[in-house]
Amino acid sequence: MRKREINHIDDKTLKKWIEDEAMTDILAQRADVIRRQVYGNKVYLRGLIEVSNICKNDCYYCGIRKSNTHVNRYRLGKEEILNSARFGYELGFRTFVMQGGEDPKFSQDFMVDVLKSIKEAYPDVAITLSLGERSYEDYKAFFDAGADRYLLREESSNPAHYDKLHPKEMKLKNRQECLYNLKKIGYQVGGGFMVESPYQKTEDLIADIRFLEELEPDMVGIGPYLVSHDTPFMDFKNGSFTKTLRLVAILRIVFPYALIPATTALGTVNPKGRELGLKAGANVLMPNLSPKEAKKAYNLYDNKLNTGLEAAEAKKQLEKEIASFGYQVVDDRGDVSDFGK
Ligand code: SAM
């Protein structure tokens, strides 16, 4: 298998795979075989640090959108971020993901300082950023300061659907341009989308897969859309768990080399979400390293998992549980596979 082998599946087959409930187990089994060929039974952990829930955007689905006045807003300072990193490092985490709203106070200078400090203290970790759309110059400065990866879901690759999820200032074209800028700079890049976000059609999901085939992302993160009661989309329903599993499996089949998380949203929508996500081809988990108050206040949707195995402190227990599913947690940066290179 070459490094970037992509298995192109035609539209008709994809439509059946996405829509047909009866395909769930079949796709999961097929995906698991492929993941084992490329990554064995390894599961990589990323310590998630939710750095700020302050956001200048107003995405209609998101609990931390700027118009939501019921959010207890916070922003971590440098020391708090470094403390979370130290705590995570001691537990064995070798990737940190700094995720947050598009918070204007996270200036280029501030981020560069934080990134350099983490890399100086822990040269063997990888740092992933997920801070939304920024200028080329910011992305470049972050990369030069030590950021390795960037997660930026495209959310929807159909511009008409994208416009239904976002206010008019936000444009799919900008988001896609950011993804290409990140690639050009040298980041390992992650795209992705929510499954059954409001107004989403099967054709929109197929458009996402086509966009990702073009982008060749290193990582793909997906999860079900989950209702947040303080948003304009509060009356829509949660995305389907099994459809999300089918899409995880489809992504593994199409992108055998990719890093694919079993996301917190998947674990929130179903108690066995993360286990079944791994069994459907996912190979990454993102336990939460954020300080306690931040964990509580970073509510993108209702009923977010907030006690138990998604907490980074529970790493030992998590390792045991993952082993009982037939996989093995490794303390490793977990870069994208160069299998067969
Ligand atoms: N601001 C950054 C960005 O825009 O990429 C990172 C933070 S953003 C809150 C992270 C992801 O959360 C989004 O890409 C979106 O897919 C997901 N998300 C937001 N609201 C959600 C919801 N109601 N249900 C499920 N996922 C949601």
* pLDDT exceeds 60 at position 280: yes
Reading the block at residue 315, the tokens are 């790493």
Residue 339: pLDDT above 60?
Answer: no
Give me the chain's average pLDDT, please.
95
Nearest CA to ligand 1 atom 19: 62
Instruction: Report the chain's C-alpha Rg in angstroms.
Output: 18
Q: How far is the CA of 300 from the centre of ligand 1 (A)?
A: 7
Q: Are 146 and 119 within 8 A, CB to CB?
A: yes
Q: Which domains does the chain have, with CATH numbers?
A: 11-327 (3.20.20.70)
Q: Please tell me if the CB atom of residue 48 comes closer than 6 angstroms to any atom of ligand 1.
A: no
User: Is residue 27 in contact with ligand 1, taking CB distance under 6 Å?
Assistant: no
CA of 268 from ligand 1 middle (Å) equals 14
Question: What confidence score (pLDDT) does residue 340 get?
Answer: 36
C-alpha of residue 265 to centroid of ligand 1, in Å: 10
Ligand 1 centroid to residue 59 C-alpha, Å: 9
313 versus 281: which is more confidently predicted?
A: 281
Can you say which residues are annotated as belonging to the binding site for [4Fe-4S] cluster? 55, 59, 62
In contact, 185 and 148? CB cutoff 8 Å: no
pLDDT digits (tens, 9 = 90+) for 136-191: 999 999 999 999 999 999 999 999 999 999 999 999 999 999 999 999 999 999 99
Q: Is 150 in the pocket of ligand 1 (CB under 6 A)?
A: no
Q: How far lies 132's CA from each of 2, 61, 138, in Å?
A: 31, 15, 11
Atom of ligand 1 nearest to the CA of 193: 16
Per DSSP bridges, beta strands 284-285 and 47-52 are: unpaired
pLDDT grade for 341, boundaries at 50, 70 and 90: very low
The CB of 99 under 6 Å from ligand 1? The reply is yes
For 47-99, how does the pLDDT look when each residue is reduced to its tens digit (9 = 90+)? Answer: 999 999 999 999 999 999 999 999 999 999 999 999 999 999 999 999 999 99
Q: Which ligand 1 atom is nearest residue 226's CA?
A: 24
Q: 53 CB less than 6 Å from ligand 1?
A: no
The answer to whether the CB of 309 is under 6 A from ligand 1 is no
pLDDT of residue 3: 57
Average pLDDT over residues 232-261: 97
Place of tokens 């694919």: 260
d(CA 297, CA 121): 28
Q: What value does the mean pLDDT take over residues 201-216?
A: 98
> What local confidence, expressed as pLDDT, does residue 294 receive?
92
d(CA 251, CA 128): 21
264, 288 contact by CB (below 8 A): yes
Cut 0.95: pTM above it? yes
Q: What is the mean pLDDT of residues 273-282?
A: 96
Please write the tens of the pLDDT for every residue from 300-317.
999 888 756 667 778 999
The pair of three-digit structure tokens given for residue 334, joined into one six-digit string: 């977990």
